Amino acid sequence: MFFKTLFWFVFLFNLAKLKEDFLRFVGKPKQSWLVVTVEDLDFFFKLCIILRISKFKKMKKTIFFLVMLALLFACNRSEKRIERKKAQWEPHKVINPLSEDLIRGKTYLSVYSQIYSGVENITHNLTTTVSMRNVCTKDTIFITHATYYDTHGHLIEDYLDTPIFLVPMETLDIVIEETDKQGGTGGNFMFEWKTKAHTPEPLFESVMISTSGQQGLSFSVRGKRIE
């Protein structure tokens, strides 16, 4: 009885993970189907385990039914396109026109939704946190544009329709979820900002992290002022 209960527990756990992995797999952009990720390999491995278990004659029909039901449910959910969450910056929007005396600047920041793992055709998905920091202890700064581009330079998102402000020592974040792979291996952010004369320029950083599977990795990138 104990081993039978343990067997079904392990099976249902792998079935649940298989559903999640299948949902992630079928949700890949069309241009990414030829690129195999670490998560894809894990999905196929779990599928092989399920199919191997299904060779038990007494359980074959039941297991086959459960697998098909889980994958069908995943397919229905995968039809819903992942919507990128807009940053909630309403309280930071600038109402009045900015002074013409402010100093203008532009900063480039690289971000990575994916990185290559092992070989060129296998990628690893990452969660990205983009930070916009006011490093001045006295003056408020203003961000006028925050645009996100993919590896090929195509515009993905324009995060600002009006300028926003950051009070002294304040930080605002943009989070790109692990399942959002549209930026690819060479995503880009371009920020335009304004400050008073002699006010330190804002600091822009991206932190990439992944804790999937039995391994964890993280790294960060600082922006570079180009104008």
Predicted confidence at residue 45, as pLDDT, reads 60
Cα(167)–Cα(186) distance, integer angstroms: 31
Higher pLDDT, residue 58 or 137: 137
CATH architecture of 90-225: Sandwich (2.60)
pLDDT surpasses 60 at 5: no
Predicted confidence at residue 90, as pLDDT, reads 87
Query: H or E segment at 123?
Result: strand 119-125
pLDDT tens for residues 74-93? Answer: 444 443 444 555 567 889 99
Per the CB < 8 A criterion, the answer to whether 171 and 120 are in contact is no
Per the CB < 8 A criterion, the answer to whether 135 and 217 are in contact is no
pLDDT, mean of residues 160-185: 94
Predicted confidence at residue 82, as pLDDT, reads 47
Q: Which residues, including other chains, have CB under 8 Å from residue 98's CB and lie 6 or more apart?
A: 142, 144, 163, 194
Write down the pTM of the prediction. 0.65
Q: Is 41 helix (H, G, I), strand (E, B) or coil?
A: helix
Cα(187)–Cα(27) distance, integer angstroms: 19
Region of poorest pLDDT, from 8-12, 28-32, 110-114: 28-32
Of the candidates 125, 122, 101, 103, the residue with the CA atom closest to the CA atom of residue 114: 125
pLDDT surpasses 90 at 159: yes
Cα(143)–Cα(165) distance, integer angstroms: 6
pLDDT surpasses 70 at 6: no
- Phi/psi at 169 (5° precision): 70, 20
Q: Is 182 helix (H, G, I), strand (E, B) or coil?
A: coil
Delimit the domains of the chain by residue range. 2-78, 90-225
Predicted confidence at residue 10, as pLDDT, reads 52
Of the candidates 139, 209, 146, 211, the residue with the CA atom closest to the CA atom of residue 172: 146
pLDDT band for 51, please (50, 70, 90 cuts).
Answer: low
Predicted confidence at residue 123, as pLDDT, reads 86
pLDDT surpasses 70 at 226: yes
Q: Which amino acid is at 40?
A: D
pLDDT, mean of residues 59-72: 56
Predicted confidence at residue 143, as pLDDT, reads 97
pLDDT tens for residues 197-216? Answer: 999 999 999 999 988 766 78
Predicted confidence at residue 208, as pLDDT, reads 95
End-to-end CA distance of the chain: 71
Q: Which residues, including other chains, have CB under 8 Å from residue 103's CB and lie 6 or more apart?
A: 194, 195, 196, 197, 199
pLDDT surpasses 60 at 102: yes
Average pLDDT score, the chain: 77
Cα(79)–Cα(143) distance, integer angstroms: 35
Of the candidates 84, 85, 72, the residue with the CA atom closest to the CA atom of residue 26: 72
DSSP alpha helix (H) spans, the chain: 2-26, 38-53, 60-78
pLDDT, mean of residues 185-196: 96
pLDDT, mean of residues 119-129: 87
Cα(51)–Cα(15) distance, integer angstroms: 11
